[in-house]
Amino acid sequence: MKRLNWLACLAASAALAGCGPDEPAAAGAGSGATPVTVETAAQRRVEVLERSVARLEAPATPAVAAETAGRVVAIHADAGTPVQTGAVLAELDDEVQRNTLRAARANAERLQVLLENQQRTVARLEDLMSRNLAAESSLDDAVAQQSALKAQLDEAQAHLADAERNLQQIRVRSPVDGVVQTRRISVGDFVAIGQALFDVVSAERLRAIAPYPETSADALRVGQTAYVAPVRAPRERITAAVTELRPGIGPLSRSVDLIVEFDNPNSWRPGGSVTVDVVIDVRDDSLTVSGESVVRRPAGTVVYVFEDGVARQRRVETGVQSEGWIEILAGLEPGDRVIRSGAGFLTDGAPVQVAPGAEANDEDEAGPAADEGRAAQ
């Protein structure tokens, strides 16, 4: 027993002798030190986001209807056909419209002849009146008849314009650039005025309708910056602005609808799903560290600060976070050297050692945060 005690004392003395006057035994240079990497806590800009999954709609989705009646004689577009504004989608039989146009033109010409003749009559009566050779009542009657004929001619010319327009409407045209969504007619069908013939979707502009819980409604405003990205391709994110915030709360969903309207950036399809991240706050000097630096311990949420070769536990309060970083609201100061990889294996006061070249500088740390630049709560 005495021999064992003597050996233990000898080993302890040897260990203490190996430490210099400025190197405490817990300095982490021994074989029991945990290898770690270290980063410097730094301030940067953080955007606080509210996220929702929205559906895409096309603001322009006209149902192309017949503006004149007739039988369909030709169809030039089907579902899925891209069309330009003014492109002919279908043609109707024009026999009725042509007959109506001829009758309207003949009536207008007849009234024009009658009006010109009546104008000459009025001119003669005015000449006779100036020489006291005609009664004033005769002139009054002629002038009244001239005014009536002029009104009838105006009416006939309006009917003529309608007849000409109806003849043009036998060609059913697309009112917008887009894609035919639905064809509702076939050759041989008789269509009436107002009957829907085609559905055309214009995808030049889109709107995202995003539901947000009513608890978030007070933080949302028209004009706020919004980041929109397809669920299928998150990297195709665009920046837009909130264009509308509907005032009512859905009775079933208990949510408020926020609308972001924008130009279609890359053939996004109406009906698709997108994420909408609305910037509700911006903090220019937020302190952030990498996500792996923050761990859970019995004391709460903590990070480990590298001090003289040992890990010192700091309890922190966290804010917004992303896949790469976490905002620190309290518990750290700018410039603190925070242990990054290996933090999950540490306890307060544990000896650690930083491998050469394993300490991240401020520029290295700014990269991922600058790429992300924002986080959703």
Cα–Cα distance, 336 to 304 (Å, whole number): 10
Rounded-to-integer distance, Cα 323 and Cα 52, Å? 18
Q: Which residue, among 282, 280, 274, has the nearest Cα to 208 in the 3D structure?
A: 274
Q: What is the pLDDT along the chain (377 residues), one digit of tens a residue?
A: 444 343 344 334 433 333 433 333 344 444 578 888 898 888 888 888 899 999 999 888 889 999 999 999 999 999 989 999 999 999 999 999 999 999 999 999 999 999 999 999 999 999 898 888 888 889 899 999 999 999 999 999 999 999 999 999 999 999 988 899 999 999 999 999 999 999 999 888 899 999 999 888 889 999 999 999 999 999 999 999 999 999 888 888 889 999 999 999 888 888 899 999 999 888 888 888 888 889 999 889 999 999 988 999 999 998 888 778 888 899 898 889 998 888 888 888 899 888 776 566 544 444 333 344 444 55
Contacts of 92 (CB under 8 A, 6+ apart): 66, 68, 69, 70, 71, 72, 73, 169, 170, 171, 172, 191
Model's pTM, two decimal places? 0.61
List for the chain the helix, strand, coil content (%; round to 5): 30, 40, 30
Cα 154 to its chain centre, rounded Å, is 50
H-type helices in the chain, by residue range?
2-17, 95-130, 136-168, 362-372
All domains of the chain in start order, with CATH: 27-46+283-376 (2.40.420.20), 50-59+204-282 (2.40.30.170), 63-91+175-201 (2.40.50.100), 95-168 (1.10.287)
Alpha-carbon span 48 to 278, nearest angstrom: 8
The 10s digit of each residue's pLDDT in 174-223 is 998 889 999 999 999 999 999 999 999 988 889 999 999 988 888 999 99
pLDDT single digits (tens) 309-327: 899 999 999 888 877 888 8
